[in-house]
Amino acid sequence: MMKLYGIPNCDTVKKARVWLTEHNFDYEWHDFKKNVLSPALIEYWVANCGWEVLVNRQGTTWRKLDEASKASVIDAASATALMLASPSVIKRPVLDYNGKIIVGFKPETYSSLLL
């Protein structure tokens, strides 16, 4: 089972989707702008790869946060609350492949896991 989470207009998500299609992988797509992410799902991701990996501190959403909001992200609970309130702060895409969580897209990472 493979599920890809992201937003369709993200360039990195587009690259991941193209790579998966070119390599004939079937996957379920979850647009988290249209379909809310559950607290349990984000907690699962955090448990599997860490909140530091999931919070995209390089992205536009993070940069637009006020300094107090940025400073308040200090642990898994505060990061989870931010990701639930502002899903665009999540680094994309998130791939769930049989319970293994991969955040971001690098062809070599996908190749080593999937091929």
Domains and CATH numbers, the chain: 2-114 (3.40.30.10)
| Residue 49 annotated to the active site | no
**Tens digit of each residue's pLDDT, the chain (115 residues):** 899 999 999 999 999 999 999 999 999 999 999 999 999 999 999 999 999 999 999 999 999 999 999 999 999 999 999 999 999 999 999 999 999 999 999 999 999 988 7
Residues 6+ away with beta carbon under 8 Å from 10: 92, 93
Q: What is the pLDDT of residue 113?
A: 86
- Order the strands of the 2-6 sheet from edge to edge: 28-31, 2-6, 94-97, 100-103
Q: What is the pLDDT of residue 52?
A: 97
Which of 7, 10, 101, 102 is catalytic? The answer is 10
Q: What is the pLDDT of residue 114?
A: 85
Token readout for 89 is: 């702060």
